[in-house]
Amino acid sequence: MKQQIIAIIDFETTGFKGREDDIIEIGALLFSTSNFEIIDTYQTFIKRDQPLPQKIIEITHITDGMLQTQGIPRVDAAQQLFQFIPEEALICGYNVMFDLSFYETLIKKHVKSEYRIDNDILDVLTIFRDLTTTSHKLSDAVDYYQVTTPNTHRALDDVIATFEVLKKMHTENAHIIDTYQNIIGYPPFRTYFGLKLP
């Protein structure tokens, strides 16, 4: 495996559609494959004019008050996240195509209108589905690999949990990143929200 920087991203959102629904919280983490140590993390809430759906509040425990008092404007969040992720980083997530659909929309709208994701990508959900026969939520992967950070449906917690799961996978198979890089939706009958690879 060539040494590289991997950026794990997670968004808490108001729905499943990247072009229609809103990001309300961003979590991101950078680490190097040379030592699997965290380099840096990023987290922010994003202000929103409309009230949150009650279901989203129940799932995430994020409130309208939190967004108003702790959130930043969407354009600032977009610019900060774009600057945080190195241009050549491999982008990773748990069901990463969901997050990439929101990420591409965010960057196109607020940073570079011509932006297109052409980074290498890694989907930890795809790996977990291929390696196990259990159910496949992030919380299931957390339990399966007995990692210390729970899946809380909060963006930074969930990127750290994803990192810890991937680190355990790598401990068991040092070629895991090379093997599953740019492979999405395996086994083939699995379906995904979000972008489709070209």
Q: Is the pLDDT of residue 189 over 80?
A: no
Orientation angle between helical segments 155-172 and 124-131, nearest 10 degrees: 50
Per-residue pLDDT tens over the stretch 35-94? 999 999 999 999 999 999 999 999 999 999 999 999 999 999 999 999 999 999 999 999
Q: To the nearest whole percent, how much of the chain has pLDDT over 90?
A: 79
DSSP state letter for 158: H
pLDDT at 183: 86
**pLDDT the model gives residue 57:** 95
Residue 110 pLDDT: 97
The answer to whether residues 182 and 121 touch, using CB atoms and an 8 Å cutoff, is yes
Distances (CA, A) of 27 to 40, 158, 198: 11, 8, 26
In this prediction, residue 22 carries a pLDDT of 96
Arithmetic mean of pLDDT over the chain: 91
Spatial distance between the Cα atoms of 119 and 93, rounded to a whole number of angstroms: 13
Q: Which of 99, 94, 86 is nearest to 158 (CA)?
A: 94
Q: Rounded to whole angstroms, how far apart are CA atoms 15 and 36?
A: 32
Distances (CA, A) of 85 to 6, 15, 24, 40, 73: 9, 24, 19, 10, 19
pLDDT at 1 over 70: no
pLDDT of residue 194: 45
Of residues 82 and 197, which shows the higher confidence score? Answer: 82
